[in-house]
Amino acid sequence: MAFEVWSWIWPLYIAGAFACAAIAGRVALSFLPPGRVGSHRGRDAATTLATSLVLGLPCWAWPISLIERQLDHYSPVGFAEALLATATVTAAWLVVGLARWRLGPHAIVPQREIVLPRPMWTTLPILAACTVPLWRVSVVSWWSALSLVLVSEFALRGFDLARRPPVATTLVVLAIVAGLQLDPWAGLAAPAVPVAAGAAFSIEWLRRADRRALWLAAIAFALSSAWSNVLWIAGLASLIGATHRNARGAAWRACGFATLVVVLKQLTSMNDVRMFRASGEHGASPVAALASLGPWAAIWIACGVGVVAALAGLNGGAMRVRSGDPPTRETRAVAVFVAAALALYAIESAIPGREMLALRTDWSALLATLLPAGALVFGLAFLPVARSGHAT
């Protein structure tokens, strides 16, 4: 009987937690510099919701964990104490949100909104593929499905901002969703969310000089430090390096704030995540990691070819270096991020006594996490730019 009651309550609890996190994230988004991320119209509302969840989960869960830790000093935290901490943090975010809405309504809804046209039917196969984990009824399945949806949304936004054809980019995103459900990558979709968000917002910053997108990219890369240090270091370095020198000061400020977030998270011991590893020998080397995928290793081989081609100057199916034009900044930035992350992890893995460093990742898990960014590079390098009927 108790199990049947809990089976009914659990989905409501999950939905309520995600709703509270989305509210907290939407309020936090309003405190970032003005930008176009935050529209509630049409398909852009999906990006706003996804961004709110990525921002809101740490902004909502972090204070709750701190309050529970303080309460635990006096007595073991039970259900009542956990509920009190959750209600306190949620009420605080609601009060801040109402005050923000009253005093600065344009911070909640941007004055200049952008609509990225994409046929609805191109997103339906992706949503269907993201629901596959729900066939396994468990707590992890809900989290995996949500993570796949978030990764897909950010990847689609990156392609749309870069004006790549909707049908072709749908196939690329379907490959990402399928890849993140392969054994031994199944269950590693969550670490790929901040990577996908950081890459997508980097594209928006470099194409549109959107300050809010710059800060979102830096924060997303900072959140990836919960799984691997090489991800946030490579992400922030590529973001600063790709920014034009006239705007590099803004990039340094955003990345400085992101670094502060990482330091605070380390000091408050928020980094209590389970070991971010795939299974055993699969992650011993990049060759073993790819061999464990069998024929599906072609996904990452294609991504690797895309990274090499992008670094060589290929963009939109044309070699820009040979024509006298440098490759577009966003293609190069995402390619440098992927290449730098792989290089940094190779260096980290070669350190003697690395077991003492409590590394939280291996090659297989790292490749799974970088898959959205690698697929973005592949699409930016080889897919032609849409000339009409798409966002500019």
- Per residue of the chain (392 residues), what is the pLDDT tens digit? 444 545 556 667 777 888 888 889 999 998 888 888 887 776 778 888 899 999 988 888 888 877 777 766 555 556 666 677 788 888 898 898 888 887 766 666 665 555 556 777 778 888 888 877 767 655 557 778 888 999 999 999 999 888 888 889 999 999 999 888 877 677 778 889 999 999 999 999 998 888 999 999 999 999 998 888 889 999 999 999 999 889 999 999 999 999 998 888 777 754 444 444 444 444 567 777 777 777 778 888 899 899 998 888 788 666 654 443 444 788 989 999 999 999 998 888 777 655 544 445 678 888 889 999 999 999 999 988 876 544 44
Residue burial 109-148, b: 16+ Cβ < 10 Å; e: rest: ebeeebebebeeebbeebeebbebbeeeeeeebbebbbbb
State the number of CA atoms in the 13 A half-sphere of 210 facing the CB: 23
- Per the DSSP assignment, residues forming a β-bridge with 315 are 318
pTM: 0.85
Peptide linkage before 372 cis (omega within 30 of 0): no
Token match 């989305």: residue? 22
Residue 340 tokens read as 């730098």
